[in-house]
């Protein structure tokens, strides 16, 4: 596997100072989130985070994630599907994202130098619940894209709806468990 120092050296030479700083912050946040959520293969998370914007300087900014995936495969000989998938989908998301990919997406949108108000909240929630952080991250990005009068990715909307439905289902199940608990407590003569 490629070394982290080789990737960093390439990035330092090929990215603007601002983009390089952003990339390092994304990498640090992604590693923290991965450790917090007990993901394995922290090195792979770090590689995906470092390479997520390696083609951002290209003229085709809307496709930079696909170009970054291609560069990861060709220049750095990365074959790991999780790394490549996370790089490819860090901009728009995808309905089949796993926690590995969600961490890259969340770290990119919410790293500490991001100035929009939701970034801090996304980061905070991400250390508690990745799916809820993704819901906020996706809604924030969708609002931004709409305000800029740009096309919204269908995958962003599908993923948002999927995660929202999952969270609402979980909330409903939790509410039903609580209401059963209250009924059981009342029928036993105890109210808590």
Alpha carbon of 152 to those of 15, 16, 77, 93: distances in Å? 27, 27, 32, 11
Average pLDDT of the chain to the nearest whole number: 87
Backbone torsion region of residue 29, taken as left when φ is above 0, otherwise alpha when ψ lies between -120 and 50, otherwise beta:
alpha
Rounded to whole angstroms, the Cα distance separating 49 from 87 reads: 8
Tens-digit pLDDT profile for residues 72-118: 899 999 999 999 999 999 988 999 999 999 999 999 999 999 999 99
Q: How confident is the model at residue 140 (pLDDT cuts 50, 70, 90)?
A: very high
Q: How confident is the model at residue 178 (pLDDT cuts 50, 70, 90)?
A: low
Q: 4-187: what fold?
A: Hypothetical protein af1432 (1.10.3210)
**In the chain, what are the domain boundaries?**
4-187
- What is the pTM assigned to this prediction? 0.86
């Amino acid at each position: 596997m490629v070394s982290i120092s080789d990737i960093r050296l390439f990035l330092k030479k090929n990215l603007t100072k601002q983009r390089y700083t952003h990339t390092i912050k994304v990498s640090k946040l992604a590693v923290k989130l991965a450790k917090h959520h007990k993901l394995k293969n922290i090195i792979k998370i770090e590689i995906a985070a470092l390479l997520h914007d390696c083609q951002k300087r290209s003229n085709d900014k809307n496709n930079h994630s696909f170009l970054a995936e291609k560069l990861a495969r060709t220049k750095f000989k990365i074959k790991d599907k999780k790394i490549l998938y996370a790089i490819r989908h860090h901009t728009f998301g995808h309905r089949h994202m796993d926690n590995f990919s969600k961490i890259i997406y969340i770290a990119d949108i919410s790293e500490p130098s991001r100035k929009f108000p939701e970034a801090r909240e996304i980061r905070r929630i991400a250390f508690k619940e990745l799916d809820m952080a993704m819901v906020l991250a996706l809604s924030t990005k969708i609002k931004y894209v709409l305000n800029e009068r740009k096309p919204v990715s269908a995958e962003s909307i599908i993923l948002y709806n999927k995660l929202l439905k999952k969270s609402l289902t979980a909330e409903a199940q939790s509410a039903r468990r609580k209401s059963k608990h209250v009924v059981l407590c009342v029928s036993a003569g105890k109210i808590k």
